[in-house]
Amino acid sequence: MNNKISIALATYNGEKFLSQQLDSLLNQTYQNIEIIICDDNSTDNTINVIENYIKKYSNIILYKNKKQLGFVKNFEKVIKLCKSEYIALCDQDDIWIKNKLEVQIQEMKLLEKMYKNRPLLVHSDLKMINENEKIIHSSYFKFRNYRLKNKKDLAYILGACSVMGNTILFNQLLKNKILPFIEDIEVHDYWIALVNELYGKRKTIYEALVLYRIHHKNSSNNKDTLQQIKRTKEINLPYHNINRDKLLKEIMYNFTLSTKDKNLINDFLIYLEFKNHKLIIIYILLKHNFMKKGFFFKIKIFIKILLKKRE
């Protein structure tokens, strides 16, 4: 096996920061790469930026969508087009630390020695930067209070997840498991992380390997929403109203699951659907520790549950 990595880059109107991202990919210390780009009908100068790079680098391949797919379906398409042994997902507006792929492929090889013929995923922490590359937080994990165990941690993945798509490296066995994407998923990285947690093995690297650019046009976690997370005093019930119940029901009905995993997903659905007695819902959250943030945050959530009216 040649250990080649396909970098799956989904673009749409990304002219402003795309060159910096492409430069960071091409300057990786790990050089056995190809860059597969799917553009989702950009109306700015994105295509020209990419085609100028293609003139200089033979390992960049561009596909142009005939119709706009949206960022989730665009990522699904670009993942399908990646044929290498390993696939790294990439956003158009970040900057990769120079040794990102080198660190991740080393961890991937360690996983392969321990777990043969299994879906595998490696992801990392990120540094948050602004439009001008100024660091606004040295750890996205700490900013969001994320702390995943390196052993199987399905309860955490079901809730907070914390596997950021723009840091993911995975193998072809996981690709075969996640494709095709099921309908109604809001974000692709949650789906990929969940499938891997159910069937594969994961390595979480607590080192920031990506400079995660926060600005007003992010597809997710944009500048406005993150500022709101930081300053808001209003606590909403986490993970409600984002189609997770539909996704999890699809998995329950159409995927082969262990009894333990099925029971855990079913309990999380009880919280999402909010149809049982409120004390039962609180008991389930405590039993599985779905809310892994601090003590006072949990107390606020439990009070919110007791006060919430049935829909």
Strands in the chain per DSSP E? 5-11, 33-39, 60-64, 86-90, 95-96, 120-129, 135-137, 169-171, 201-213
| Pairing relationship of beta strands 86-90 and 5-11 according to DSSP bridges | parallel
CB 130 within 8 A of CB 214: yes
- pLDDT higher than threshold 80 for residue 155: yes
Per-residue confidence at 107, pLDDT binned at 50, 70, 90?
A: very high
CB 150 within 8 A of CB 120: no
Q: Which residues of 59-96 are buried (b: 16+ CB within 10 A; e: fewer)?
A: bbebeebeeebebbbbbbbbbeebebbbbbbbbbbbbb
Cα–Cα distance, 124 to 226 (Å, whole number)? 19
Per-residue pLDDT tens digits for 31-86: 999 999 999 999 999 999 999 999 999 999 999 999 999 999 999 999 999 999 99
Cα–Cα distance, 215 to 227 (Å, whole number)? 11
Domains and CATH numbers, the chain: 5-227 (3.90.550.10), 233-307 (no CATH)
Helix/strand/coil for 109: helix
Q: What is the pLDDT of residue 289?
A: 87
Mean pLDDT, rounded, of the chain = 92
Cα–Cα distance, 41 to 73 (Å, whole number)? 13
Q: DSSP secondary structure string, 23-91?
A: HHHHT-S---EEEEEEE----SSHHHHHHHHHHH-TTEEEEE-SS---HHHHHHHHHHT--SSEEEEE-
| pTM across the whole model | 0.91
| pLDDT (average), residues 15-42 | 98
Q: What is the pLDDT of residue 217?
A: 63
CB 245 within 8 A of CB 127: no
257 DSSP assignment: -
Cα–Cα distance, 61 to 82 (Å, whole number)? 10
> For residue 232, what are the contacts with CB-CB under 8 A and spacing of at least 6?
none
